[in-house]
């Protein structure tokens, strides 16, 4: 398929079972006019079919940083969805750790004030760790829309994640861009 000519959406996919349905999210986003690019975490790549995603998007599926001096192969994003978002990714993202391409893009996106939506996907024991809840709250305070995944056999909330980024960046009360007057 030829990429859609429209705003650019990055779908960042982590290592959790809903990643196997990333093509569904791509088709849904394309149906709404998004030129969709897929970036996976290194472990998340194993949960997807990169060939299928490349055919659908017309873009390579990236999971590693490019080498210095190499051109960017993806257009810059206008919005980002990270789904499924693992506990590992949520916690590192909130701490500003950029040890993977996916995390580097997510950390940078907060600074750019891009519309961001995350759908954490984990087990109850991981979700119960105090750092996870604190980091979800931090991300929300910085303007990230963090959705609760559907449970009990309900479909994964790809459409709700798209709705969230299409609504625009969530500006937390009292926030300012770095370098703006009074910061």
Longest dimension (CA), the chain: 49
Which of the four pLDDT bands, split at 50, 70 and 90, describes residue 155? confident
pLDDT of residue 168: 84
Q: Exposed, middle or buried by CB within 10 Å (0-12, 13-18, 19+), for 57?
A: buried
pTM of the predicted structure, to 2 decimals: 0.90
Percent of the chain with pLDDT over 70: 88
Judging by DSSP bridges, how do beta strands 79-85 and 8-13 pair with one another? parallel
Residues 6+ apart with CB under 8 A from 19: 13, 40, 44, 47, 48, 84
Tell me if 35 sits within 8 A of 9, measured CB to CB: yes
Which of the four pLDDT bands, split at 50, 70 and 90, describes residue 151? low
- Tokens 């959790």 correspond to what residue? 16
What is the distance between the alpha carbons of residues 125 and 128, in angstroms, rounded to a whole number? Answer: 5
pLDDT of residue 102: 98
Neighbour tally for 48: CB within 10 Å: 20
Tell me if 104 sits within 8 A of 34, measured CB to CB: no
CA 155, distance to chain mean position in Å, is 18
pLDDT of residue 176: 40
Read off the pLDDT of residues 119-149 as tens digits, 9 standing for 90 and up.
999 889 999 999 999 999 999 999 999 998 7
Neighbour tally for 89: CB within 10 Å: 27
Domains contained in the chain, CATH given: 8-65+74-166 (3.40.50.1950)
Sign of the CA dihedral with 2 first, then 44, 94, and 131 last: positive
What is the distance between the alpha carbons of residues 142 and 90, in angstroms, rounded to a whole number? Answer: 13
Read off the pLDDT of residues 70-120 as tens digits, 9 standing for 90 and up.
999 999 999 999 999 999 999 999 999 999 999 999 999 999 999 999 999
What is the distance between the alpha carbons of residues 36 and 9, in angstroms, rounded to a whole number? Answer: 5
pLDDT of residue 83: 96
């Amino acid at each position: 398929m030829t990429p859609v000519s429209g705003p650019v959406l990055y779908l960042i996919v982590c290592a959790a079972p809903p990643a196997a349905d990333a093509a569904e999210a791509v088709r849904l986003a394309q149906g709404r006019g998004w030129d969709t690019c897929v970036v996976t975490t290194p472990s998340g790549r194993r949960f997807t079919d990169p060939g299928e995603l490349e055919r659908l998007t017309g873009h390579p599926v990236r999971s590693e940083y490019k080498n210095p001096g190499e051109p960017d192969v993806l257009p810059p994003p206008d919005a980002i969805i990270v789904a499924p978002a693992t506990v590992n990714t949520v916690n590192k993202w909130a701490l500003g750790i950029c040890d993977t391409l996916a995390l580097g893009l997510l950390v940078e996106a907060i600074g750019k004030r891009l519309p961001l939506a995350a759908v954490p996907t984990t087990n109850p024991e991981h979700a119960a760790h105090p750092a996870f809840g604190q980091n979800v709250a931090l991300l929300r305070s910085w303007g990230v829309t963090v959705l609760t995944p559907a449970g009990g056999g309900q479909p994964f909330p790809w459409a709700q994640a798209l709705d969230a980024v299409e609504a625009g960046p969530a500006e937390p009360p009292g926030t300012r861009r770095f370098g703006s007057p009074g910061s």
